[in-house]
Amino acid sequence: MMKRMESMVVVLGLTLWGGSDVKGVVRYVDIDATGSNNGSSWCDAYTNLSFALFIASFAGDELRVAQGTYKPTTGTDRTLTFTMYDDVEAYGGYAGCGAIDPDARDISAFVTIMSGEINTASVTDNSYHVVTASGVANTAILDGFTITKGYADGSGGNSNGAGIYNVSGDPVIRNCTITDNFAATDAGGMFNDDSLAVIENCTFSLNVGDFGGAMICLNDSNITITDCVFDRNEASVTGGAIDLLQSSPVISGSACRFEGNETPGAGGAIAFKGGSGDVMISDCEFIDNIAGSVGGAIAASTDFGFFEIFLDDCVFTRNSARDGGAVYMNNPNAKITLCEFVDNEATPAKGSGFGGALWIDIQGSLIDIEINNCLIVGNTAKDDGGGVYFFPTTANGPDPVLANCTIADNTALNGNGGGVFHRRTDPIVQNCVL
């Protein structure tokens, strides 16, 4: 009946939805259901998730989706995608028809997959975008899905956001795993442009892109990321996990972790480029991230003016880069509080290596640098600044503040300043252990 869902969706919608007077009901989706295919119960569930999302958009229905693998089309059109809609909340992870308790929900046990693997086993004919969230309000919710196998190798927008593509949308993405997606340009996992998206308790893993392996945020995409894991994502240019351009995200949560992300450029985990914005990162762990250039975990710089970055209660362990083994900052106002920097390295095989834990480059007299209540221990630089490297590019630069810190057992292998190296500035050191 639904062999040509894409061309018959309006007619089928009028038939299966049941009328426009029904508001905000629960509808069911189960790819293995064999009943009436009208979404009224688990065994009469819709079997096509794209169709169910469309029908739910008329009345703002809630969708409950059973375990299984769903694809945006049964055909070969790579432009087709799972579309999010205002007022539609979709929840995956249900046991579904035939289970002892079909309403049982466990997103780990009853995995619900949105897959872009629509054609052959080759990835090169997969969907450009598995999910599209463009233009939606924050009433569009996706909760409890695995989003995978997007392959954005097309032109224009079809080269970005293989997992989730989002322009001017403010979706809520919660309890999802975004994994194994590829973008030829920006963000294998999630592309955000002019967005206020909310992303909670999600895992981004094994995604690949040029800029931002897992995610990119452009043009005032001031998104909120809470309790998310970014694991083994790769970017071929900058931002192994996340690339930020003129955006001011808030990244936080006790479960927040960036681990094993990598780029040959800047920012093994996060690269921030842009002015007049704030970046706020708190309660996050950065472990074993690698940048071939600067900022093993975080690289923050701008050609557009000053910016502010706040790092609070974060842990940086075993990150590595050419310069700034954990963090590299160029022209910031920075407040780093209650952070730990342990066993990070700026020890490239070739060339110089400065700032085992931190490299801070100061270019203007209005810059304010404060490092408070931090532990900087066991870091290594090939050259100067085993722990911290301050390098104002202008004479008589501002004096950074180091207060209530422990700076110990850091090493400058071939240079000066095992703990702290400074040039053209006089750090203010208060109540520190060195």
The CA distance from 50 to 31, in Å, is 11
Residue owning tokens 């870091």: 379
The CA distance from 161 to 181, in Å, is 8
Domain ranges of the chain: 227-434
The DSSP letter of residue 42 is S
Cα angle value 416/418/419 (rounded, 5°):
125
Strand pairing of 141-143 and 172-174?
A: parallel
Q: Which helix H or strand E contains 332, and what residues bound it?
A: strand 332-337
Chunked mean pLDDT (size 10), the chain, 434 residues: 36 38 81 97 98 96 98 95 98 97 98 93 92 98 98 96 98 98 97 97 98 95 96 98 92 96 97 77 98 95 70 98 95 90 93 93 74 97 95 71 96 93 82 90
> Under a CB-based contact definition with an 8 Å cutoff, are residues 320 and 296 in contact?
yes
**DSSP of 75-112:** SS-TT--EEP-TT-EEEEEE--TTSSSTT-B-TTTS-E
The CA distance from 389 to 293, in Å, is 16
> Under a CB-based contact definition with an 8 Å cutoff, are residues 212 and 181 in contact?
no
The CA distance from 29 to 202, in Å, is 22
Cα angle value 279/301/334 (rounded, 5°):
50
**How large is the greatest C-alpha to C-alpha distance in the chain, in angstroms?**
77
> Under a CB-based contact definition with an 8 Å cutoff, are residues 362 and 336 in contact?
no
Sequence-distant (≥ 6) Cβ neighbours of residue 174 within 8 angstroms: 141, 142, 143, 144, 198, 199, 200, 201, 202
Assign 115 to helix, strand or coil.
strand
The CA distance from 163 to 148, in Å, is 6
The DSSP letter of residue 125 is G
pLDDT at 306: 57
Beta bridge partners of 72: none
pLDDT at 248: 87
Q: Name the token pair of 204.
A: 């981004």
The CA distance from 335 to 351, in Å, is 30
pLDDT at 373: 97
> Under a CB-based contact definition with an 8 Å cutoff, are residues 127 and 72 in contact?
yes
- In this structure, what are the phi and psi dihedrals at residue 422, rounded to the nearest 5 degrees? -140, 150
What sign has the CA pseudo-torsion 153, 158, 164, 166? positive
Q: Name the token pair of 353.
A: 């290596």
Q: pTM for the full model?
A: 0.92
Sequence-distant (≥ 6) Cβ neighbours of residue 18 within 8 angstroms: 38
What sign has the CA pseudo-torsion 331, 332, 337, 341? negative
